[in-house]
Amino acid sequence: MANQKGGVGKTTTASNLAAGMAKAGLHTLLVDLDPQCNATTGFGVAPAARHPLVSDAPLAESICPTGLANLFVLPGSRSVRDVERIAAEARSGSTVLASHLAGGLSAWDYCLIDCPPSVGELTRTALAHATEVLMPIQCEYFALEGLTQMIEVIRDVMAEQPGRLSFSGIVLTMHDASLELTSEVEAEVRDFFGEIVFETVIPRDVAVSEAPSHAQSVLDYAPRSRGSRAYTELCMEVRDCE
């Protein structure tokens, strides 16, 4: 999940998609690469004192269960030193970091990485070791702001490792059908990006915002809510795209 703009629903989408995959019986890991650690705390897991990706210990020793069957979290760290070290090791081509990302995540049916809101080394590192990138876009005026730079970074990674990374698609979040602005933004995004925009849109729904405070996904917190239905449909659409 990547977008250099903050507040667009990256963590929310990563967390609820991960929950949806787990509910489908898929062995799923959510990797928190954002120093804010919201993907970690959103499932009631404590941030790590040191980020597992800069440790010499096997990743398996740091992976934490959630309250949901089949769903596990690799917790993030709020340590500025660890964030800087991950970035430095990514630039240097560290074998420790590469082996963690290449080998430690291969046993899972799905591994979703929640990236920070930037196009820095943390996001580039995630893209370099991912097979697909999904980009959430908020249905507001500045939705397209900065996307050109993000897409250029994705293209650079694709060029460096041809055939590895693909663009899964763009998902529209915080969608309010009653607002004319929402319709205008959706039309503009769909007109510009075409088929790579998912049909499913994620509505504004208070249940989606409340769920993390209960250490749950919206699928468990409010299974009959509009947000839960939307994330279930998005999960199905993501799987159908494979």
Q: Does the pLDDT at position 94 exceed 60?
A: no
pTM (predicted TM-score): 0.92
Q: Does the pLDDT at position 126 exceed 60?
A: yes
pLDDT on residue 237: 95
Percent of the chain scoring above 70 in pLDDT: 92
Nearest CA to 7 among 160, 198, 137, 162? Answer: 137
Contacts of 233 (CB under 8 A, 6+ apart): 200
Mean pLDDT of 43-59: 87
More confident site: 160 or 29 = 29
pLDDT on residue 219: 98
Residue in this structure with the two tokens 């590895």, named with its chain if needed? 164
Tokens of 101: 């990302």
- Distances in whole angstroms, Cα of residue 135 to Cα of each of 2, 39, 58, 148, 167: 5, 16, 29, 12, 9
Q: Does the pLDDT at position 97 exceed 70?
A: no
- Which range (2-11, 77-86, 109-118, 201-210) has the least confidence? 77-86
CATH no. for 10-240: 3.40.50.300
Distance CA 89, CA 186 (A): 39
